[in-house]
A and B are shown apart, each in its own frame.
Chain A
């Protein structure tokens, strides 16, 4: 049933997809985190239009399939902006915008879970809003939400496999290509699965390490 001999020469080719997957995940994570924090601040803030925008944004990106968002950015956007977008930037933008919606909800909940007294203590010391958020509230919120954030990154890492539909040569796409070349799909797909699984294990381990570091103050 298994015959890895014909697939072994293609393993380096599949592994090259690791760089593509990591590039998408890392940049999308950065966009997602920065945009997610901004959206979360809009949601808890008092400026009504910003609040409405952030909530609308979240409902759109959570309410439609990721694959649809990806295809709109890659295939449909050129119709509006008049030039083509490469697969990689399209993937990074789609995943970044999408995860921002989820991350903003996680962070919003995390900020709300920080004792209101912390804000009062900071205010009473004359600390302005921006510094209070950055130095006092967000670090405490981050500690509480780290497990949920890691979960989001792990999901993002695996879900990145759908860039295969716009032809980006990530791990998934390469495994599929090898399957087509050798007429054996089982082995390359299993190899791809193993790579994703190991990546998830590494991310989980990293998450635990960071969590441990943040627990110093307990």
Chain B
């Protein structure tokens, strides 16, 4: 589904990603974990080119992402941000239908139908005519997930989706993500929620210092990490 080949990213003299190669299969749920500054968010943002890779290749569904086709590819890559970034001047429903109608050219009535179904799925149908500022953090993030899903993407990227939430709201967002994982969505999740990673992910990618240090199943990773650095990290966070 996604193939990353020797991905490098440098900011000035600071090399954030030092050659990452990995492959993500269809319906796989990947948790990307690692200490802060390890490059995990940059890795995720390079996949849909919110960051321009310094070198390396990324293929989505066999297509090499270039400057030219990136807009088209992004339609298939839903993204959820730490700080939601809902459009504050649009209602919840308008947030969901904007891109399908304006980018994909879906008929408005059809887009509304899809949006309402998605809002039911994330449990926020009754909030469809509210503006985002009236919602709690957890609700905002659930709307943001629904907004990304409204484009009917083949892959969902999550960039620390629960890091900006109050603790009591983390659960509701993780529940939505878990449902999504169980429905067979391909997902790449940058997260600090170790419990969630352990429970939901098929694979853990452990990044440190811009390198992919460990690539294993949650069972392996959490009980018997191969590298000393992963061991050290787990000692700190668990």
Contacts and interface: CB of A to CB of B under 8 A. Distances in A.
Contacts of B81: 117, 120-121, 124
A140 B103 CA distance: 20
A140 B75 CA distance: 24
B77 A124 contact: yes
A127 B133 CA distance: 23
B74 A140 contact: no
A139 B99 CA distance: 16
Contacts of A128: 71, 103
Nearest to B73: A126
Nearest to B98: A135
Contact of A124 (B74, B87, B88, B132): B74
Contacts, number: 65
Contacts of A120: 50, 81, 85
A118 interface: yes
Contacts of A121: 79, 81, 85-87
A123 B133 contact: no
B83 interface: yes
Contacts of A124: 48, 50, 74, 77-79, 81, 148
Contacts of A117: 81, 83, 85
Interface string B81-97: 10101111110000000
B202 to A, nearest CB: 24
A35 interface: no
A125 B103 contact: yes
Interface of B: 48, 50, 71-72, 74-75, 77-79, 81, 83, 85-90, 98-99, 102-104, 131-133, 147-148, 151
Given A126-B104, A126-B151, 6 more contacts: A115-B85, A120-B81, A124-B79, A124-B81, A131-B103, A135-B98
Given A216-B131, A217-B89, A126 B99 contact: yes
A163 B68 CA distance: 51
A218 interface: yes
A136 interface: yes
B69 to A, nearest CB: 11
A120 B85 CA distance: 8
A121 to B, nearest CB: 4
A163 B99 CA distance: 47
Interface residues of A, number: 20
Contacts of A217: 88-90, 131-133
Interface string A125-144: 11110010001100110010
A96 B117 CA distance: 49
Contacts of B90: 217
B102 A131 contact: yes
B72 A123 contact: no
B103 to A, nearest CB: 5
Contacts of B102: 127, 131, 135
A126 B89 contact: no
A120 B50 CA distance: 7
B133 to A, nearest CB: 6
Given A131-B102, A140-B89, A126 B50 contact: no
A121 B140 CA distance: 14
Given A131-B102, A216-B131, A217-B131, A126 B75 contact: yes
B74 A126 contact: yes
A139 B89 contact: yes
Contacts of A118: 85, 87
B133 A218 contact: yes
A214 B99 CA distance: 22
Given A131-B102, A140-B89, A217-B131, A125 B72 contact: no
Contacts of B75: 125-126
A31 B161 CA distance: 44
Interface in A136-171: 136, 139-140, 143
Best-buried of B85, B86, B98, B133 by chain A (most CB within 10 Å): B85
Contacts of B74: 123-126
A140 B79 contact: no
